Structure 1
């Protein structure tokens, strides 16, 4: 029996078996319990009054039943003892004379071998109480939501009446309840006659039984995808520490929140339907514990189209949601610095453009990621290397693909590697939890692998700060829209090609929320983006979780990496603000850098300078980026297998000279791009003035 985190009924996980004439049926319970004395006495009073004296069969009852059945002088009876019923329940079969004889022999053997107490305990574990319930432990919970030891005499009498004919005495039906109450009165009378209950107790119990109103049947909430997911995880992972005598499994889900999440998501989905959106999935996780608080698999299991699919586990194109992990890996390996300038400029060699078709020019990493620019992300993937990035994404659990990384290529940075919402939320948990990856927790006693560190704290916190800066999202994401909150929230949106999938993962200090919006047929929508569509749903959910409104203002923010200090940087150059550089962004740099340990904030890639360089670098190679990797396509036209060379020139000169591998390659205007045909191997690029007196630092790349 599954409950939510507060004990509210969620569902039952039953034992399915084939029943002749009924097909497959689910049965619940079979919880082993030590029989409470009052329950045992009531059951014995109705089913086997001489239980303590016979060896497993009751000769007197057999003779009486035979006489009654032959003469019709009394009620027909099968004379089955408790032990005989246990034998039949353990090996059900046709009811005929030979079967009865086998039951009798088995009953004697069970009693002799295990003793009466064990036989009675087994009976109270197996006996059916109707509506699929078996055993007094489960029946007490199912009908009255209490342990068997806490049942009143009236409740015991009612339950004791059911096993003789569970369908006939079904207390969920008015006629069945009336029959069960009548038989329960008989049980109370027998107990009073035996002295098990006194006159006052008997009168009280009889009055309660006569006025009995059964509590409402516990119903599964409208969360079938969640129930199926829990069953799959329980079957696959198992449960540690569950009490078999009271097998209620407490999940981490909050059913009240689950209902609110469904309402909020479906209301906003309705507004998106004219644009072709059909389905939504949401996952809400508690920070720190990684407990799943709500899981919405679709806009309704029975809803069409495609409501029966669980989109929280479906693999779809994640759009730009994998980019933060590339930035974290680059920061971790030292191939990217927070104060480095990245180029968002046209580059045909990438075969990738930005979603808006435009370019923002030089950007700090904070801006490039927060604006979700594709060109910087693809170039960053080159610098990291396809295999390294592919393996890191595998370690994060985002995929288990066996195809080579080259199959996805640089488009891995913009959504070609499919993943699921549950995988994505779990991986983002590593960013939210200072670089430590752990399993999502769905229920108490779930067996999980210990959390493990996959990235340093500094990289996880730096990326979190990138994603939590509304100012850095300009101009791609407007202020005070669906991606802004009155409290600190880090978020990343994603929109797959053709607007087929809209994503967002967002986290505050307390919660992590993932949202997907799309179609059942994976078809395109009309301009439905992660920021606009999924962002609106995530915003509504997080505001609800924090109990606030969008126009409130809550203090607080995310922690900076240890050993860093804030520095105001010029947004276009990455140098410290000198008061005259225009737009600035606050960035967290290593303390020694922030205090001026670096005399010059020269952000061009490192390399050997063959000629004299000026104190402040006046010639820079913007594209390609240092330590990038390129892959030639042997089937492509030669004009497509080329690299765009771009320069940044801070000198008033009419021309610059491009050198490749130490040899002059082209003379061009400072702002004009140059195209170099790729050849396999390691290559170096450098800019020089025609006079030869000033040169840029060298940029090294690898072409494969």
Structure 2
């Protein structure tokens, strides 16, 4: 019978390799592209377990303490300490308290098999089976393997299981760094995990005396009390700091893994670079501290590799500076501000409505909309008059951007932004002309990745956060030639001198193109730009949406952007992109010295050598339909006689001479001449064309008029009113 019991127990004992392979941390560990831990996310809440710790990575003091406390003859017996058994039996005979006869190997057998675990009410048969399992372990395992497995499986206190979780939580150290006093306290918990601080201290002092270090007992009561009040979540050690290095990205990649429907692996390799992540975290923390007193406490940083789309840095929060540190501000939706302007001007250039030399009117304008008049204003409430597109974009002037959106139309601009991965939840008509100034909500990650398309000659692809994920394929969204022009403008420090000066954090010692943005009432502040290899985006603001105090793009997010870019290019050059086909560089002058002469870049066929207000060198006008916007729907007012209703069409970009030369067509038939005309509306869909002096259609829009029943009235109104716009 004993032999059968022995054989069954021996067969049930696993190998050391199996035990180690089956070990699972309570956390999902996220590592960077080089294998360094950057985040740990709790996944199993039954117990807190850390990584498996090898015996060579365990403090010698702790190894000594555990053997002296739990099994002094560990290296001499073969699983069962028969000398200890005899001593325990003799003590029980005389009713004397003793340590007992359970060896480390027998305790390990209990940890591997719950049926053998120490506790009250065990039968003689269970005790014998535990002894047999221990003997079997001793035959198949080395002493070091037994001790290593024991230290990784033994409970210490509360939910803490294993050496790693205990060491990190109670002492803020990796296990190799535990000293004699810490080791004694830890080992004292093995015997009585839930004992009071006084009891643990008393037992730890006894262990220290056995170790030959009685002086360490001085002040041990207070030290033990402080150790035991630390909660299981109060991690302060090196591994704990790494566990919070990229916590927001870790949650994002784990969520992606769960969405795939496959089991989440215990270890995920991210695309991050831990060194760069630390640079971004440090820079954001330092700069936000410098802004103390300006009511700004939150921030986020994203760095993306242009070629692969790998997210190399992802700082979702300012950490302890934030009142909402758990919020992922890199993924949160915020108003984009002026950061959308480069996409707008690129589309206007691509559609050959504008060139980088085109003059735009930076003066107050009132635009009729369905809700009234839209009156855009510049950031500083000053106006520059006629400025080139280069100066308007470089200096981030608002009115020229709105005038440009009138040409492009909110509907088409909205389509372009969505194609670039920006999560716009409403239609272009919903945002209206304010879309030019960034009224839409975007995330820092999506905005940074959209800017990456400029670095890739207009090709868009989603970013990726895990190395094992497939590299997303690219699709052409913007014209390479037009994106080159925008990059040339945003890399020109002279173009932004009007607003930012020549020396600002936007200027780097290597080639970069960059744009800032600030949302309404200074709630959000952005800085996004790219170099030859990287695209960097920074946001600062407040999780609550509260306004910052006197914080602009160049003083808020730009310094962090500059520091991260400098770190990226300490040893890596960044050269200006080569001019693609379809682009030409032309020597350009301006009449009346509106702007200094310069070498300007144009799409092939649109170049000019001299620019004057409203005309090119050849004298061709560049008019556009200012209002209504393309796709506008009008409804006839049933309370007004149809003959008394009018729709007005307005043209932009005209001088006195060109205003007299342009004409209008409605559905291919002449409608009128001049900068504005009125039309008696008729139900249906209509095409409206603006025609220049040579008879060429320079701009075309579509509108729809919906009919309404005409209500009988006693007399028609004397004052005509316009139709209702929806």
TM-score bracket for this pair, using the shorter chain length? 0.5 to 0.7
| Residue matched to 2:315 | 295
Flag structure 2 segments of 5+ consecutive residues without an equivalent.
1-28, 214-234, 705-726
The Cα of 1:333 is off from its aligned counterpart by 6.5
Decide whether the 8 Å contact of 1:604 with 1:697 is kept in 2.
Answer: no
Mapped to 2, the partners of 1:285 and 1:217 lie a distance apart of 27
| Residue matched to 1:416 | 439
Q: How does 1:92-103 map to 2 (within 5 A)?
A: 95-98=119-122
| Residue matched to 2:664 | 659
- TM-score, structure 2 as length reference: 0.65
Flag structure 1 segments of 5+ consecutive residues without an equivalent.
19-24, 187-215, 549-553, 574-578, 606-613, 689-693
Decide whether the 8 Å contact of 2:623 with 2:654 is kept in 1.
Answer: yes
Decide whether the 8 Å contact of 1:502 with 1:516 is kept in 2.
Answer: yes
Q: SS at 1:301's partner residue?
A: helix
Decide whether the 8 Å contact of 1:657 with 1:687 is kept in 2.
Answer: yes
| Closer/same/farther in 2, CA of residues 302 and 593 from structure 1, 3 Å limit | closer
1:587 matches 2:568: no
The Cα of 1:297 is off from its aligned counterpart by 1.3
Q: SS at 1:701's partner residue?
A: strand
The Cα of 1:180 is off from its aligned counterpart by 5.5
Q: Choose the corresponding residue for 1:29, options 34, 37, 51.
A: 51
| Closer/same/farther in 2, CA of residues 538 and 582 from structure 1, 3 Å limit | closer
Decide whether the 8 Å contact of 2:314 with 2:330 is kept in 1.
Answer: no
| Closer/same/farther in 2, CA of residues 176 and 453 from structure 1, 3 Å limit | farther
| Residue matched to 1:17 | 45
The Cα of 1:258 is off from its aligned counterpart by 4.4
| Residue matched to 1:563 | 581
Of 427-436 and 126-135, more deviation after overlay is shown by 126-135
Q: Choose the corresponding residue for 1:370, options 378, 394, 405.
A: 394
The Cα of 1:699 is off from its aligned counterpart by 2.5
| Residue matched to 2:24 | none
Q: SS at 1:87's partner residue?
A: helix
The Cα of 1:283 is off from its aligned counterpart by 0.9
Q: Choose the corresponding residue for 1:318, options 316, 322, 336.
A: 336
| Residue matched to 2:12 | none
Q: Choose the corresponding residue for 1:127, options 154, 157, 169.
A: 154
| Residue matched to 2:720 | none
Decide whether the 8 Å contact of 1:127 with 1:135 is kept in 2.
Answer: yes
Mapped to 2, the partners of 1:536 and 1:229 lie a distance apart of 23
CA-based RMSD: 5.9
1:506 matches 2:529: yes
Q: SS at 1:629's partner residue?
A: coil
Could you list the per-position Cα deviations for residues 118-155 of structure 1 after superposition, in whole angstroms to 9, with x for gaps in the alignment? Answer: 9947545423577987556888999999999xx99999
Q: Choose the corresponding residue for 2:690, options 670, 685, 700.
A: 685
The Cα of 1:371 is off from its aligned counterpart by 3.3
Mapped to 2, the partners of 1:265 and 1:352 lie a distance apart of 36
| Residue matched to 2:714 | none
The Cα of 1:465 is off from its aligned counterpart by 1.8
Q: SS at 1:270's partner residue?
A: coil
Decide whether the 8 Å contact of 2:49 with 2:165 is kept in 1.
Answer: no
Decide whether the 8 Å contact of 2:272 with 2:314 is kept in 1.
Answer: no
Q: SS at 1:682's partner residue?
A: strand
Mapped to 1, the partners of 2:444 and 2:251 lie a distance apart of 17
| Residue matched to 1:450 | 471
The Cα of 1:682 is off from its aligned counterpart by 1.3
| Closer/same/farther in 2, CA of residues 153 and 543 from structure 1, 3 Å limit | closer
Q: SS at 1:475's partner residue?
A: helix
| Closer/same/farther in 2, CA of residues 263 and 412 from structure 1, 3 Å limit | same
Could you list the per-position Cα deviations for residues 8-51 of structure 1 after superposition, in whole angstroms to 9, with x for gaps in the alignment? Answer: 98665556535xxxxxx743224699999x99999889649689
The Cα of 1:321 is off from its aligned counterpart by 1.2
1:261 matches 2:283: yes
Mapped to 1, the partners of 2:554 and 2:276 lie a distance apart of 27
Q: SS at 2:337's partner residue?
A: coil
| Residue matched to 2:511 | 488
Q: Choose the corresponding residue for 1:65, options 88, 109, 115.
A: 88
The Cα of 1:417 is off from its aligned counterpart by 1.8
Mapped to 2, the partners of 1:85 and 1:683 lie a distance apart of 86
The Cα of 1:519 is off from its aligned counterpart by 3.5
| Closer/same/farther in 2, CA of residues 152 and 340 from structure 1, 3 Å limit | closer
The Cα of 1:467 is off from its aligned counterpart by 1.2
Decide whether the 8 Å contact of 1:631 with 1:703 is kept in 2.
Answer: yes
The Cα of 1:367 is off from its aligned counterpart by 3.4
Q: How does 1:69-88 map to 2 (within 5 A)?
A: 69-73=92-96, 75-77=98-100, 79=102, 82=105, 84-88=107-111
1:355 matches 2:356: no
Decide whether the 8 Å contact of 2:663 with 2:673 is kept in 1.
Answer: yes
Q: SS at 1:366's partner residue?
A: helix
| Closer/same/farther in 2, CA of residues 388 and 650 from structure 1, 3 Å limit | closer
Mapped to 2, the partners of 1:90 and 1:684 lie a distance apart of 84
Q: How does 1:118-517 map to 2 (within 5 A)?
A: 120=146, 123=150, 125-128=152-155, 135=162, 164-165=190-191, 218-219=237-238, 226-237=245-256, 252-254=274-276, 257-258=279-280, 260-270=282-292, 273=294, 277-283=295-301, 285=303, 287-288=305-306, 290-293=310-313, 295=315, 297-298=317-318, 300-301=319-320, 306=324, 309-329=327-347, 338=356, 346=365, 348-349=367-368, 352-356=374-378, 364-378=388-402, 381=405, 389-399=413-423, 401=425, 403-435=426-458, 446-455=467-476, 457-509=480-532, 512-517=535-540
Decide whether the 8 Å contact of 1:161 with 1:183 is kept in 2.
Answer: no
Could you list the per-position Cα deviations for residues 27-83 of structure 1 after superposition, in whole angstroms to 9, with x for gaps in the alignment? Answer: 3224699999x99999889649689997x8778765653443453557322625535
Mapped to 1, the partners of 2:178 and 2:557 lie a distance apart of 52
Could you list the per-position Cα deviations for residues 193-244 of structure 1 after superposition, in whole angstroms to 9, with x for gaps in the alignment? Answer: xxxxxxxxxxxxxxxxxxxxxxx9734788997543144135335699x998
Mapped to 1, the partners of 2:461 and 2:55 lie a distance apart of 36
| Residue matched to 1:616 | 618
Count of residues in correspondence between the two structures: 622
The Cα of 1:450 is off from its aligned counterpart by 0.8
| Closer/same/farther in 2, CA of residues 178 and 235 from structure 1, 3 Å limit | farther
| Closer/same/farther in 2, CA of residues 41 and 264 from structure 1, 3 Å limit | closer
| Residue matched to 1:644 | 650
Could you list the per-position Cα deviations for residues 66-107 of structure 1 after superposition, in whole angstroms to 9, with x for gaps in the alignment? Answer: 443453557322625535534346649993114996686578
Could you list the per-position Cα deviations for residues 482-534 of structure 1 after superposition, in whole angstroms to 9, with x for gaps in the alignment? Answer: 54445433111212123322222134456544332333432444554324433
Mapped to 2, the partners of 1:504 and 1:646 lie a distance apart of 31
Of 425-434 and 654-663, more deviation after overlay is shown by 654-663
Decide whether the 8 Å contact of 1:378 with 1:413 is kept in 2.
Answer: yes
Could you list the per-position Cα deviations for residues 368-410 of structure 1 after superposition, in whole angstroms to 9, with x for gaps in the alignment? Answer: 4323344554565566565654454345443163x54443344
The Cα of 1:413 is off from its aligned counterpart by 2.9
